[in-house]
Amino acid sequence: MINRAVLVGRLTRDPELRYTSSGVAVASFTLAVNRQFTNQQGDREADFINCVIWRKAAENFANFTHKGSLVGVDGRIQTRSYENQQGVRVYVTEIVVDSFSLLESKSQSEQYRQQHPNDQVSSTQSNVNQPSNNFAGPAGSGASATNNSQGSNNNSTKNVDPFADGGQQIDISDDDLPF
């Protein structure tokens, strides 16, 4: 079975860091992830996805992110249910985060916060071409992206297809292929 979720979005609020009775750190947060299409008014809608992260990664996440931070998360979808104080069964679906990546610098994040002080976090446009800082994960894995909403364009990181036909032919015989 496969249960993987990879999301890129902005935090809708500061992460809520708590500790269990045994001292294990857990942080919960909501990630706003833009949809790929626009509605009839031309606005891009977003999905608000609840996430939870545990242990040292939770502490790091809470220390390095805040409302409006652009982050990438990798984890699994989990469902659970509980009975609330009124005796009603409540069902919860959330992402249990295994690793995360910060997808913009601290200065870019602060600039976004200043430009959108009361915004419900609306933009997740990103361009995958620049390495990012990864503070959690089993093997240092994480998504890489930069925020492109300020219109910055760095020509040194221009996407180049190494397999495009640049006028050169590659000489490969059938004996060179592994299959």
Whether 173 maps to a domain, the answer reads: no
- The reported pTM is 0.60
The CATH code of the domain that includes 55 is 2.40.50.140
Instruction: Decide if 94 is inside a domain.
Output: yes
What confidence score (pLDDT) does residue 144 get? Answer: 36
Tell whether 176 is covered by a domain. Answer: no
Domain count, the chain: 1
| Low-confidence residues of the chain: pLDDT under 70 | 116-179
Q: Does the residue 172 lie in any domain?
A: no
- Residue range of the domain that includes 97: 5-149
Task: Report the pLDDT value the prediction gives residue 60, as an integer from 0 to 100.
Answer: 92
pLDDT in tens, 95-145: 999 999 998 877 777 777 777 666 554 443 333 333 333 333 333 333 333
Residue 141 counted as domain residue: yes
DSSP 12-74: SS--EEEE-TT--EEEEEEEEEEEEEE-TTSPEEEEEEEEEEEHHHHHHHHHH--TT-EEEEE
pLDDT at residue 10, as a whole number:
92
The answer as to whether 159 is a domain residue is no
